[in-house]
Chain A
Amino acid sequence: MIRPQLIVGVRLIVIATVIGLGYSLVTTGLARVLFGDQASGSQVRRGNEVVGSRLVGQQFVRSQFFHPRPSASGYDGRASGAANLGPSNPELIALVAQRVRAYRRENGLGSSVRVPVDAATSSASGLDPHISVANARLQARRVARGRGLPLGRVNELIDRNSERSPLRLGPTVVNVLELNLDVDRLAPP
């Protein structure tokens, strides 16, 4: 009873492996032909150079740039993941309090100004490319001053880089990389 089923099973696993590999390769080929830009990661170029992906966040620390969300991996593309600090973990509470202080100090905000939650918490992937509109607005003054731009122009750039979700299925988000590229274009450092 066992031997015949074993032989069939081995043969079927071989076929299944061919199917799995084949399906993946066929999809890769079709994807490249039909949706080449998306298939290769939605890369963003400045001139001839690739400076990142529209979908993947990257680190910004200088004061003339908009800063992204905190990341548990420092935006390392080889190591995605979250901080995995539970909601009642004192380490998390302390870290968030520290981020609130740093954010207020960096952006010249008084101690009565509340910090948007996306600026004080880290993401699930460590590579979140977005910040909230509220977060961007609170950073606008610092960036405008750093670049010698009127605040209104910077706010306009934020509006231009705010992505509304179709049917409002998701929140309105601001892509930090594209926003900073626009700022660079408007007022080169």
Chain B
Amino acid sequence: MTWSGVAQLGVLVVAVAATCPLLGRWIACVLGGEPGELSPGDRIFLPVEGAIYRLIGVSPRGVMNWRVYAIAAVLFGLINALALYAILRLQGHLPLNPTNVSGQSEALAFNTAVSFVTGTNWQAYAGETGASHLAQMAGLVTAHITAAAVGIAVAMAFVCALIRRDRSEAIGNFWVDVVRATTRITLPIAIVFALLLVSQGVVQDLDGFQEIRTIEGAVQALPHGPAASQEVTKALGTNGGGLYNAGSAHPLAVPTIGVALIELYLTLLIPLAFPFAFGRMARRRGLPGQARVIVAAMVILFAMLTGGAMAAESSGNDRLPAAVEQAATGDNPGGNLQGKELRFGAEGSALTTVGTMGTTAGLTTMAVDEATPAGSGLALASILLGEVSPGGVGTGIVGMLLNVLLAVFIAGLMVGRTPEYLGKTIRSANVKLLALALIVAPVTVLAGTAAAVVIPSARSAAPNPGPHGLTEIFYAYASATNANGSAMAGLGSNTDWYNTTLGLAMLVGRFAVMVLTLALAGSLAAKTVRPATRGTMPTTGPVFLALVLAVIVAVGGLTYLPALVLGPVAEFLA
């Protein structure tokens, strides 16, 4: 690793260590209390929130059981998707369209609407020509905000159900959670960082393509647009996407390594803060130290996956002719620079891309399709492990807790004791829901990939020959199902087959898992809490951490090993 890599990681670690615990505390205080309890910031936010509750017709004191919560969440997503679909189909006739973009086709608009509402942000279109400025601001950014809010809300409901001790079935109020998550968490952070990004050179205006004459007399179009505001919501909400086809590699969206690191930091901020919120809420109910294992697991996985990718990219592509100088010197940053921007360097690109792969944001400061086999393989692995390093806004802590429950269950089987977590017994009904929730994604990914590989027209959409082509298709289904949204962009996915199947994969991956998670939450909420005895397995400490990591890697690895061997591993060994 070069000095640059060390400096980048150092700055990141300092920023995260300084802010995530504090934000976690804030999240616990504003969302983790009982309805009607006082929270910090009430004086500023309550009037605004109160007005919203009155406008939508909701009482902030109402609570929901898991069924009502799930219905609200699914309906909200459906309405959101319909609204976004309408905007995308009609954008050619709506105002604020200086780039003269016409409406998206039915299949594409379906795919895009589902994609953004599920927080995937897979774009089968090019940002410059596929979405008008109005669609970007009123449709896509709105979806960024709502997807993040829903993620936070469902995670809060799950956490509340787990640590609840009063045997109530209530897991929260979906509408209150969604509104509060936006007013007190995402919006304030977003505005501050959007302006910070503009100060660093990110473009933010309402103009279209500005045609200029270059020095040599050619014509070039400078693509203006409201980039900074969207870059922030795309990162902070672990969404993804962006104004431009090149995503976070575009110099008007991410002009410096500093901005790239800020975006990476924003994708880690809420997901890594959530375990601290969970830990604080658990501690208040007499269960201290519960966050440590989760934070440690997230950080260890992040370090291994991202560190590996940084090393792989900085050592270059050994298949290139020897005449190409890939060794790093003061004058030449070296490494595999195919599909990378020089201002980030090979390591910086790997860090700011692969680092976001485990957060469901899937930001691409480099072309994943052109990374070394190890680099793209580790990006894919981050997604396949279930997006828990540290995962998406809300979905990360939920994913981790599902793995924790599985670890507890397996440990219980091994020592012949009834598994219990936080004092609540895990019985067969719970385990069935848990298993279903964990199996949905792998089945969808593998079935989708298998189908696409078998159908000739779908297979031919992968332009790169050999195992790399298989990886491109596998990556697409993994990314869509796990709400990541990045792509190995050589895949020609703007076809009816891919738009439809990837859209369905996104729906299943997000909503089926969400409903199963809420059902599991419901089944755990009203359970009686047993006091800890000498026989209770501690869920703090290094032994449990090792168990959780083993479960994540073993379950993920075993499920996907054959496909990984045929794709990235084969290419790596060739």
Which residues of A does B touch, CB under 8 Å?
A: 1-2, 4-13, 15-17, 19-21, 23-28, 30-32, 34-35, 38-43, 46, 49-62, 65, 69, 75-90, 92-93, 96-97, 100, 111, 114-118, 120-135, 137, 165-173, 177, 180-181, 184
B390 interface hit (Cβ, 8 Å): no
**Interchain residue pairs with CB less than 8 A apart (17):** A8-B57, A12-B56, A19-B187, A24-B137, A31-B205, A38-B201, A38-B202, A59-B218, A78-B128, A80-B126, A82-B367, A84-B367, A92-B338, A100-B324, A121-B339, A132-B342, A171-B333
Contact A78 B325 (CB under 8 A): no
Contact A9 B215 (CB under 8 A): no
Q: Given the complex, which residues of B lie within 8 Å of A30, measured CB to CB?
A: 195
Contact B251 A7 (CB under 8 A): no
B91 interface hit (Cβ, 8 Å): no
Q: Given the complex, which residues of A lie within 8 Å of B207, measured CB to CB?
A: 40
The residue in chain A whose Cβ has the minimal distance to the Cβ of B467 is: A88
Q: Given the complex, which residues of B lie within 8 Å of A41, measured CB to CB?
A: 203, 205, 210, 222, 224, 252
Contact B343 A21 (CB under 8 A): no
Q: Given the complex, which residues of B lie within 8 Å of A28, measured CB to CB?
A: 204-206, 226, 229
Contact B331 A137 (CB under 8 A): yes
Contact A78 B57 (CB under 8 A): no
Q: Given the complex, which residues of B lie within 8 Å of A80, measured CB to CB?
A: 126, 128, 223, 244-246, 249-250
Contact A75 B331 (CB under 8 A): no
Contact B332 A117 (CB under 8 A): yes
B190 interface hit (Cβ, 8 Å): yes
Contact B324 A115 (CB under 8 A): yes
Interface stretch of the complex, out of B140-148, B297-305, B532-540 = B140-148
How many chain-B residues does the 8 Å CB contact rule pick out? 130
* Shortest CB distance A30–B (Å): 6
Contact B203 A21 (CB under 8 A): no
Q: DSSP class of B's interface residues: helix, strand, loop or mixed?
A: mixed
Bound-state Cα–Cα, A181 to B215, Å: 8
Contact A55 B252 (CB under 8 A): yes
Bound-state Cα–Cα, A52 to B218, Å: 11
Contact B216 A173 (CB under 8 A): no
Contact B203 A34 (CB under 8 A): no
Contact A117 B55 (CB under 8 A): no
Contact B215 A184 (CB under 8 A): yes
Produce 1/0 per residue, B203-244, CB < 8 A to A: 111110110111110101111101011100100000000001
Most chain B CB neighbours (cut-off 10 Å) among A76, A90, A170, A184: A170
* Shortest CB distance A166–B (Å): 7
Interface stretch of the complex, out of B312-320, B434-442, B502-510 = B312-320
Produce 1/0 per residue, B33-70, CB < 8 A to A: 00000000000000000001001111000000001100
Q: Given the complex, which residues of A lie within 8 Å of B71, measured CB to CB?
A: 1-2, 5
Bound-state Cα–Cα, A61 to B215, Å: 11
Contact A84 B206 (CB under 8 A): no
Chain B, 306-364, CB within 8 A of any chain A CB: 316-317, 319-326, 329-345, 348-349, 364
The residue in chain B whose Cβ has the minimal distance to the Cβ of A10 is: B79
Q: Given the complex, which residues of B lie within 8 Å of A11, measured CB to CB?
A: 55-57
Contact B203 A40 (CB under 8 A): yes
* Shortest CB distance A129–B (Å): 6
Contact B199 A132 (CB under 8 A): no
* Shortest CB distance A61–B (Å): 7
Closest CB pairs A-B (n = 6): A20-B142, A84-B490, A170-B257, A124-B249, A82-B367, A171-B333
Contact A52 B220 (CB under 8 A): yes
Q: Given the complex, which residues of A lie within 8 Å of B221, measured CB to CB?
A: 76-78
Bound-state Cα–Cα, A173 to B203, Å: 21
Q: Given the complex, which residues of B lie within 8 Å of A134, measured CB to CB?
A: 325, 329, 331-332
The residue in chain A whose Cβ has the minimal distance to the Cβ of B137 is: A24
When A49-B213, A88-B319 are in contact, do A55 and B255 touch as well, CB less than 8 Å? yes
Bound-state Cα–Cα, A143 to B244, Å: 34
Most chain B CB neighbours (cut-off 10 Å) among A54, A126, A167: A167
Contact B249 A96 (CB under 8 A): no
Q: Given the complex, which residues of A lie within 8 Å of B143, measured CB to CB?
A: 20
